[in-house]
Amino acid sequence: AQKITQTQPGMFVQEKEAVTLDCTYDTSDPSYGLFWYKQPSSGEMIFLIYQGSYDQQNATEGRYSLNFQKARKSANLVISASQLGDSAMYFCAMRDWGLTGGGNKLTFGTGTQLKVEL
């Protein structure tokens, strides 16, 4: 069964510093995708970044990058130059492309609450 583990319930970072949010995953399917979503206090789910299991390069989207270490089954999110608006809950999620059904189901971690301080 798929499993996503986020071991940091809460993190603090100073404005303009970089921060790494940890995510480890477990799946027996060799073909899968890893996603990070941001949930601000207003509640909506905002897609940030995607990494496919066969992608050779680590994904990057602006200030977001994904440190993908396949052998260690980790997919950490790195936010560079943190801003006050980055304060939010961050979820790591996984979807495998195997025959497990679920209609493109995402399996989510429990989230990390990030607070950016002045």
Partner 1 sequence: EAQVTQNPRYLITVTGKKLTVTCSQNMNHEYMSWYRQDPGLGLRQIYYSMNVEVTDKGDVPEGYKVSRKEKRNFPLILESPSPNQTSLYFCASSPPDHSPLHFGNGTRLTVT
Query: For binding to partner 1 (CB under 8 A), which residues are involved?
Result: 4, 33, 35, 37, 43-45, 47, 50, 52, 91, 93, 95, 97, 101-106, 108-111
Taking the complex as a whole, the smallest distance from the CB of residue 81 to partner 1 amounts, in Å, to 24
Q: Measured from the CB atom, is 101 or 118 closer to partner 1? A: 101
CB closer to partner 1 out of 18 and 30: 30
Nearer to partner 1 (CB atom), residue 62 or residue 118: 62
DSSP 43-87: ---EEEEEEETT-SSPPEETTEEEEEETTTTEEEEEE-S--GGG-
Number of H helices, E strands in the chain: 0, 12
Q: Give the other-Cβ count within 10 Å of 62's Cβ.
A: 9
